[in-house]
């Protein structure tokens, strides 16, 4: 898909180092005729409606789904806008994926976070059950690796195999 081919109500995922950022395509456009994105960011500490390029920062981005039928998405976009400036960002309880899922599914949840915490807990249990002593630095390294694997396994999948690189002027 071309960069301007995404539509209001679609969910866009942007790949950042070690995590994905989740956004909802707005029905409002910028001066450059690109749709804005609504998302919760650590950068802002809350929900904002911003230019596509500001949110994605030129990273690989693609569509993973939409937030309903055309008659539903305006209601849900308005609902997302209701959180602008009201959302207190927290990586553990109110991150971008929590936000998008609250709007889409009425349940604030983050598979990336849930799987990372589960995988890290299993790693801790396995290491503590082992008869070998392990250093703190080795333990931290194992936790980072297991957390990274969990985040990777939790990635949003491109809808209809349309993932393209934003830097090439495309988005899926």
Per-residue pLDDT of the chain (172 residues; tens, 9 = 90+): 456 678 898 899 998 987 889 999 999 999 989 999 999 999 999 999 999 999 999 999 999 876 666 668 888 899 999 999 999 999 889 999 999 999 988 889 888 787 777 777 777 777 777 767 777 777 777 777 766 666 666 666 666 544 433 333 332 3
- Structure tokens belonging to residue 114: 């849930």
Residues 12 and 55 in one domain: yes
* Domain count across the chain: 2
State whether residue 69 is helix, strand or coil. coil
Q: What's this model's pTM, rounded to 2 decimal places?
A: 0.73
Domain identity same for 133 and 161: no
Same domain flag for 106 and 120:
no
Give the span between the Cα atoms of 31 and 82, in whole angstroms.
23
Same domain membership, residue 46 and residue 25: yes
Q: Are residues 121 and 133 in the same domain?
A: yes
Range of the domain at 14: 3-110+156-168
Q: Are residues 65 and 93 in the same domain?
A: yes
Neighbours of 75 (CB within 10 A): 12
Q: Is 162 in the same domain as 118?
A: no
């Amino acid at each position: 898909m071309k960069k301007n081919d995404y539509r209001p109500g679609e969910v866009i995922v942007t790949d950042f180092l070690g995590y994905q950022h989740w956004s909802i395509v707005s029905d409002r456009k910028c001066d450059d005729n690109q749709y804005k994105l609504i998302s919760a960011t650590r950068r802002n500490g809350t929900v904002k409606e911003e230019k596509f390029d500001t949110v994605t920062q030129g990273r690989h981005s693609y569509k993973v789904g939409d937030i309903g039928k055309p008659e539903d998405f305006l209601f849900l976009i308005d609902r997302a806008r209701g959180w602008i400036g009201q959302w207190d960002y927290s990586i553990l309880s109110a991150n971008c994926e929590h936000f998008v899922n609250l709007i889409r599914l009425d349940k604030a949840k983050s598979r990336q976070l849930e799987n990372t915490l589960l995988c890290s807990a299993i790693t801790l249990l396995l290491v503590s059950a082992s008869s070998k002593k392990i250093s703190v630095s080795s333990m931290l390294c194992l936790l980072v690796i297991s957390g990274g694997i969990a985040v990777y396994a939790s990635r949003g999948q491109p809808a209809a195999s349309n993932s393209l690189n934003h830097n090439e002027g495309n988005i899926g």
